[in-house]
Amino acid sequence: MIKVVAALALILVAAGPAQAQSLDEVVRDVETAYGRITDLRAEVSQSSFNKSLNQTIPAKGTVYLKKGGKLRWEYTEPTAQEIVSDGKKLWVYTPTLNQANVGDAPAALAGPAGSFLAGLGRLRAEFTVRFLNPAQPKDAEGNWVLDLTPKQPLPTLSRLILSLEPRGWEARKAIVHDQFDNTVTMKFTKMVVNSGLPERTFTFVAPKGVAIVPLR
């Protein structure tokens, strides 16, 4: 379920020159850049912390995103798992269990909590925005670090810390907080934007013999 939470808090990358210095300039440039994006592919390294269990679970894989709440997460570690949505249905396929869970895609999937192609294109409308450290708005790697609080928080997203590199606005790192103080930290590499991902990328066909179970 932690992986599903991560899939509902997707972070996307944008392209374009970055000359911003003030918070208002950063917000303006992020909104402009993200408004141009239609799809994304990236490799992701993830660490999920469960506060109640005091447990951290690492994961690695590839994420594909497209406007309209479409997504595909292919995890390879610690176990193989696919999370796929065409914007209408959400599938979670776990090969080791020979099982696929399916349910209606949450409406939030196409909004700021589900696809930041939508949310970050309207940054001020969707979030309360500040620098994580106003006195030093960039981190040690030179990335702008934004502290975003959704104006309509959801159980899966109560706060987002987002690091953006200053030249092409690539999202290098994101930390998603939920209402229970659990966190999902994602680091992104090898990003490709607007490659024209085909619709079949976001269609799931259950392998023969796989048990279909309602997603709860």
Set out the domains of the chain in order of their start, with CATH numbers: 2-124+189-214 (2.50.20.10)
pLDDT in tens, 70-126: 889 999 999 999 999 998 999 999 999 999 999 988 755 544 444 555 556 678 888
Residue 151: φ, ψ to 5°: -70, -20
- For the chain, give the mean pLDDT: 84
Rounded CA Rg of the chain: 17
Q: Over the chain, what HEC string results?
A: CHHHHHHCCECCCCCCCCCCCCHHHHHHHHHHHHCCCCEEEEEEEEEEEECCCCEEEEEEEEEEEECCCEEEEEEEECCCEEEEEECCEEEEEEHHHCEEEEEECCHHHHCCCCEHHHHHHHHHHHEEEEECCCCCCECCCCCEEEEEEECCCECCECEEEEEECCCCCCEEEEEEECCCCCEEEEEEEEEEECCCCCHHHHCCCCCCCCEEEECC
pLDDT in tens, 176-196: 898 899 999 999 999 888 999
CA dist 2 and 92 (Å) reads 12
Residue-level pLDDT at 69: 81
- pLDDT of 44 > 70? The answer is yes
Look-up of token digits 């899966």: 156
Largest CA distance in the chain: 57
Enter the pTM of the model.
0.81
**How does residue 59 score in pLDDT terms, banded at 50, 70 and 90?**
very high
Query: What's the rounded mean pLDDT across residues 42-62?
Result: 94
Sheet bearing 89-94, strands edge to edge? 127-131, 144-150, 159-164, 171-177, 183-193, 39-50, 55-66, 70-77, 81-86, 89-94, 99-104, 211-214
pLDDT in tens, 117-160: 555 667 888 889 999 999 999 999 999 999 999 888 778 888 99
